[in-house]
Amino acid sequence: MTDDNDAALVAWFKDLGREDTDRVGGKNSSLGEMIKALRDRGIAVPEGFATTATAYWSFIEANELQDRIAEQIGKLKGDRSNLRTVGDAIRKLILKGEMPAALVEEIRRCYAEMGQHAGEEDLSVAVRSSATAEDLPEASFAGQLESFLNVQGADKLLEICKRCFASLFTDRAIAYREDRGFDHLKIALSVGVQRMVRADTAGAGVMFSIDTETGFPRTVLINGNWGLGETVVQGTADPDEYHVFKPLLGNPELRPIIEKRLGSKEQKMVYAAKGSSELAKTSDEERGSFVLADDEVLTLARWACEIEDHYGQPMDIEWAKDGETGGLFIVQARPETVQARRGGGSIETYHVSGTGERLLTGTSIGDAAAAGEAHVIKSPKEGDRFPEGGILVTGQTDPDWVPLMKRAAAIVTDHGGRTSHAAIVSRELGLPAVIGTGKATSTLKDKQEITVSCTEGDEGHIYAGIAEIEVEEVDLSDIPDTDTKIMLNIGNPSAAFSWWRLPSDGVGLARLEFLINNAIKVHPMALAHFDKVEDKDARKEIEALTRGYPSKPEYFIDKLARGIARVAAAHHPNPVIVRLSDFKTNEYADLVGGRQFEPEEENPMLGWRGASRYYDEDYRDGFALECAAIRKAREEIGLENVIVMVPFCRTVGEADHVLQVMSDNGLIRGRAGLQIYVMAEIPSNVILADAFAERFDGFSIGSNDLTQLVLGVDRDSDKLKALFDERDPAVKRMIARLIEEAHRHDTKVGLCGQVPSDHPDFAHFLVEAGIDSISVTPDSFLKVKTEVAAAEARRRG
């Protein structure tokens, strides 16, 4: 066999490379490329062989199928109403054909050699179809052709090879080529035969070397489920999800996993009878455990970076873990085709307002929104009743759903994760989708008016009724340079990647209480002292939330650390100022298990909040968890651009108490470059600015609380709202005095608040006063940046 000869019927993967796409298609040439070029870098790819385009054409010619296929294609109507009939006729022609003797001999011989090498007579193999126009950057679509797992025996393999040939003419593949203008009779099919990785007894999944939703290029996204990887690709399971920060992977002392989410993983695909696979329910232990250990996550992420570097573009990669050997393998790699083609010169922002009741939550795909009528469709065969512009609601999708998906304004599914078929196709079509809601098909009714919102980070929401949706395009080339640093306020870490394209100077305010409330949900003291929690319902809920973690405190530390790290990674190496928790007692009480640990206060706004909690015996153990999370984000994950900020620090003595407690918990100012800021939101912070400046590296003005306490006005009072004004001369004088005094002590000052966004004259005042930075919400960034540039020009001029 001469694999480099165009007349060869088969070729070993090890003898193939990227230049062989015309011979063996995108999938198989890529497998060969990785084996040949990346094996020496430690990347494991299972061995195998591929039939060539020559083999396919020999089959077509031996059975005189060219003209008969052309005849059937000629019958295809313009509206494709007879697509199913045409496709079925062509597939039957191919399946009735006989494999040429020479091709049969080559396939049997190569399969036998694989078995001898592995020491197994009837070696289990994966058989995949690879078309000569598939997996190209300009022509890639999820799942057009067929794959078969756990194929055993030469006779079965030959039968499956013919079924792969027939899959070149699935209805969806015919429609796809029609849409793209490909000539059906000039595309060949290569069959890839690859040793099966025993993922049925371990796990498998998909990873991308780019964030699939935002295009953030410095993260690897990994999804995994127990069993064979088809459940992740097809979206039949809610997989585990991991994000790894690429720039820190080169440091072996760091573990830059910036997100870990435990999926429900309710079912897995395993070996069944000889030559088949089946779905099975996962055990309670499997559902409560991560598929991958942290070291395995990091190994896969490094491989993704190596593959991306070799190919010179973002990649979509399938991986599998062998349950018998514990080894990790790459089983497919293809170019990522959505974010890689997306322009970076502007960003679109969607604003959703006037929403009704929240009906469902799932994984958010894209960053857009759509409203309209829901249509619950159980099968693609019901496609005739799905209207153009409707919202498609179904259990899960596969390639047969694509014609319906193209007509949809948005997509909602019961099952699936970020790398499922529904997610991939929704991205390619530019549609907002909420995947894995669990019960969309039973909750939503036909023709019910709903709004699908993917504008709120990783979680997508379905709201009742038609909300108002505004779209704004921000041209990044229009953003001026400024000497004053313009930073972002980030409330939701899951949305942090959404704004990576904005030329901000970092994050001026990341609130821990948002993370605790939304990602952790449990009162810190209820985790630190779970044995003392008396509420039985709370105990049950805490047990459910913390499954998969070795201890209750570790759940808090890990979740909080990775939330902090995600925000810090999105803006690395620019500074990210993380404010320690500033719940009021009534807000803390609303956390799971919280009422037992919180007093009732007449005025929580002026009560036990901020710094006063951290050194108090009744909360000190909870604060220790916050400190441990910050240490993990900075020291273990490696995001040293995290700056810590202390809120509502009333006195200099209190500052000393807090700094001591932080030091006791390993957060020592100056060590490993750690900076500690203080909020300036109490008049005492301004009056004693010199003393506070000796203890902290910077001030961040909280204009809401400062206004409240300078003017003596409850900021939440409707009756007094006319008196509440951050632009009052008394407030402005306090701010100007703080900036002057802080600068006298070489201490930086920023402001985080809405007022510069709402009132351009206030932004001008801050520039005149010499503020170092202004932190705003992302949707206000361009407006404030422009006003600051104008103020600086006027000041110079």
Beta-bridged to residue 279, according to DSSP, are: 269
Cβ contact 46:114 at 8 Å: no
Residues 407-429 as b/e (b if ≥16 CB within 10 A, e otherwise) read ebbbbbbbbbbbbbbbbbbbbbb
For the chain, the distance separating the N- and C-terminal CA atoms, rounded to the nearest angstrom, is 79
Three-class SS of residue 234? helix
Tokens at 427, concatenated? 């991205």
Which of 193, 145, 135, 139 minimizes the C-alpha distance to 166? 145
| DSSP per-residue codes, 381-403 | GGGGGPPTTPEEEES---GGGHH
CA 218 from centroid of its chain's CA atoms: 12
Tokens at 548, concatenated? 């998969």
Three-class SS of residue 233? helix
Residues 6+ positions from 756 with CB-CB distance below 8 Å: 762, 763, 766, 774, 776, 780, 784, 787
CA distance 469 to 355: 10
CA distance 730 to 420: 56
> What is the pairing mode between strands 277-281 and 267-271?
antiparallel
Give the number of other Cβ atoms within 10 Å of residue 85's Cβ. 14
Residues 6+ positions from 315 with CB-CB distance below 8 Å: 208, 209, 304, 307, 308, 333, 334, 335, 336
> What is the pairing mode between strands 773-776 and 485-490?
parallel
Cβ contact 457:383 at 8 Å: no
CA distance 433 to 418: 10
CA distance 220 to 192: 27
CA distance 6 to 19: 13
CA dist 549 → 95, 317, 559, 784 (Å): 51, 28, 10, 43
Residue length, the chain? 797
CA distance 672 to 432: 42
Give ∠ CA 776-728-788 in degrees, rounded to 5.
35
Active site residues: 421, 752
Cβ contact 700:509 at 8 Å: yes
Burial label, 762 (beta-carbon count in 10 A; 0-12, 13-18, 19+): buried
CA dist 505 → 484, 577, 680 (Å): 9, 11, 21
Burial label, 6 (beta-carbon count in 10 A; 0-12, 13-18, 19+): exposed
Residues 6+ positions from 562 with CB-CB distance below 8 Å: 257, 258, 259, 260, 633, 637
